[in-house]
Chains A and B, each alone.
Chain A
């Protein structure tokens, strides 16, 4: 059962310093997680690390400004972690193959398909999902407000991915033309297919953002 493991910044024989380890060694093992496993003390993790250069798969993620501790398998995608470990089901899975955009989240402000990112590769990054867009007091993000005002979506399965793609694009291009915006969010598909309404909503959202 003790399959490898994440090994970071080192080859096997080099003894791992405590510091290297703190920087991010994580272990694996295809074992079902128990609560004790999850909340094992750091002391136990260190003693384990000295043996093989490998430890727990319990990692820390920065999601929507919160530090979340989570148990992540080597092969787990960010979409899986967000939805099934952290309960952030606003991020949707459409294709699981980088072909639809439903799973789009921002990683350090840049739109990515979370179905196609290994969670272990974003340990030190800032992840923003649709749940993190509204202000702590519950005010909608200008793009969300515009979606409501323009009734931008129909079934809205694609909506959270679209909104995240638009927010990411508008951070760099706050004043796009309609066709620039269309190009910017071209990595998202809508099965209900009213792209015009979506664009109208986001153009309005861009305007709200400029005014805000």
Chain B
């Protein structure tokens, strides 16, 4: 756990004023660079001396990365926009309250005042074996300390584990997937726009990374299309304490229905796998069905197919099932 050291080990600090300068710095320093947004994930790594970057690239002086703009029929959110700014923005409040709910449930007020949405979706896992510096798969070793007979793994994965059983901690991630957002990623070699769903990766793709970002890549913005503006939304996060704590399981859904029948739906969960999971099978199964208790039950049961709990996290299976039921039917219906 947290040990207070006097100060962090030294590093070079770079404060570019433009994305172009930041990309040059990231290119120049490659693997030795560390992107600093709000720092609320970063500082733990640096203070605990587990990651020792040589060049910290602070994005706080880059105004192009800040703020929320209307773009087409949707919104573009700069990567350096704080979670508090997301929560307070009138368009988010009016049309994308799903994202508001998710951002509002993250961490604590002070953390939301400083933590950015770009950092929130790019943050590393909170598996404490990994975070306290154990040389596990994710750290480049060849064991998962959270998946041994005596491991403490109440917070870990029930789905999609592949050697590593860590989960993704982000609250905004499932909401962004449900809203069909896309991530704008730039590097010196150009820009690519990736669906939120594909931004996050599991251990099967690369066991040492949580997202597609490679050294040299910068997430510049998140785009939310108009498609789901004002839809029927559901967000719920279950955690041990109401402040600070990460989700044990969270669910986010966007739905359009004619009062009776589900016409379109997107649904994602987090806290159950190394990446937030979009539940495509559930979406396909409930589309065209009544928004009823029966459909909700079908959705819940389908969602947990293939779940494989560890020693201490079997509770996550019914928890996920019930949250998915609620996402279909609303809290009162499940």
Contacts and interface: CB of A to CB of B under 8 A. Distances in A.
Interface of A: 3-12, 24, 28, 30, 73-77, 80, 93, 95-99, 101, 104, 110-113, 116-118, 120-121, 165, 169, 183-187
B111 A75 contact: no
A96 B4 contact: yes
A112 B46 CA distance: 19
A167 B158 CA distance: 43
Given A11-B24, A116-B39, 14 more contacts: A4-B14, A8-B17, A9-B61, A74-B10, A74-B56, A75-B46, A80-B7, A98-B110, A98-B111, A104-B110, A113-B111, A113-B114, A120-B13, A187-B244
B28 A12 contact: yes
B13 A97 contact: no
Contacts of B17: 8-10
Given A8-B61, A9-B61, A75 B44 contact: no
Interface string B90-109: 00000000000000000111
A77 B46 CA distance: 12
Contacts of A104: 110
Give the top 4 A-B pairs by smallest Cβ distance, nearest first: A4-B12, A187-B108, A9-B17, A74-B13
Contacts of A5: 12-13
B114 A117 contact: yes
Contacts of A11: 16, 21, 24-25, 28
A160 to B, nearest CB: 14
A166 B92 CA distance: 26
B242 interface: yes
Give the size range of B's interface with the partner: 35 or more
B40 interface: yes
Contact of B7 (A9, A75, A187): A75
Contacts of A113: 110-111, 114
A98 B46 CA distance: 14
B30 interface: no
B11 interface: yes
A6 B58 CA distance: 10
B16 A3 contact: no
A113 B10 CA distance: 21
B2 A97 contact: yes
B10 A73 contact: yes
